[in-house]
Amino acid sequence: MQNPKLDITAAFTTWALPEGAIARLGRGTVRDMAFSPDGQYLAVGTSIGLWLYESQTLSPIALWDTRRGMTENVRFSPDGRWIITQTWAEDVKIWDTNSGACIAIMEEQEHLSQPIFSPDGQRVLAATNVNVWNKNQELWPGEVYVWCAQTGKRINQTEIHRAQEVGWINAFSPDFTLLASSYYDIERHRQTSIVVWNIENGEQIACMTECPQQVQSLCFSPCGKFLAVGGEKGTLHVW
């Protein structure tokens, strides 16, 4: 794995560790991390770039994407060949795990939330935050994008929309056929609902109104039949 610009030493990984700690990972503010499917690598997104570590030794291997600000939303492809990252500058990129090369940059990236790989690793899916204001102060409708992972070209785009409500937190079902979004009423200033959408046609599948205030997280069960919703005050709802 090549990275000629990288100047890192093993000393930083083990220097002055707190009691009980075995290694220090990343430099700068850590935003996200993910293990490769085979457990061989650990990718860490930080304020100075994307770090890649060998899992067994916790030794740093590479540092990529150091020029675009905070790196977050780090995910490996199912076969571990690629890593997807998103920065605060809203760049969404695909990295080759072995070479460190950026193989694709996703088209049309404004207001994206947590891009992820499809189960076959050939596509990238992401949803926009719903009804947020764009740089022209216009209300931006919610959309689900699908790209080709190897080229970054957009394959599909589906609009989802709820009048006068802002969607902030999104989650895809395991088979990537459904999208769950939490909604906040911008006029009454309160959480209103959790809505499940059909990704292919934008049809509303379900709407749950008995949801916690200030939704912080959404997660489908592995079977895709249940949806867990976490609230700011420590409440957890399951449908």
Q: Residue 6: pLDDT band by 50, 70, 90 thresholds?
A: very low
What pLDDT, in 10s, does the model give residues 104-125?
988 766 667 778 888 888 988 8
What is the C-alpha separation between 152 and 93, in angstroms, rounded? 8
- Each residue of 62-86: pLDDT tens digit? 888 766 668 878 999 999 999 998 8
Domain annotation for the chain: domains and CATH numbers: 1-102 (no CATH), 106-239 (2.130.10.10)
pTM for the full predicted model: 0.72
Q: Which of 239, 238, 185 is nearest to 213 (CA)?
A: 185
Q: Is 18 exposed, middle or buried (0-12, 13-18, 19+ CB in 10 A)?
A: exposed
Three-class SS state of 78:
coil
Any idea which of 9-13, 173-177, 228-232, 234-238 has the lowest mean pLDDT? 9-13
Q: What is the DSSP letter of 47?
A: T
> In this structure, what DSSP letter does residue 100 have?
-
Q: What is the pLDDT of residue 135?
A: 52
User: Tens digits of per-residue pLDDT, 166-214?
Assistant: 556 678 888 888 888 877 666 666 666 788 888 888 788 888 877 666 7
Strand, helix or coil for residue 148: strand
Q: Smallest Cα–Cα separation from 144: which of 133, 157, 153?
A: 157
pLDDT band at 18 (very low <50, low <70, confident <90, very high): confident
Give the model confidence (pLDDT) of 118-167 as tens digits. Answer: 888 898 888 776 545 555 555 555 677 888 998 989 888 877 765 555 55
What confidence tier does 36 reach under pLDDT thresholds 50, 70, 90?
A: very high
The token pair that represents 87 in the structure block: 């920065």
Residue 97 has pLDDT above 50, yes or no: yes
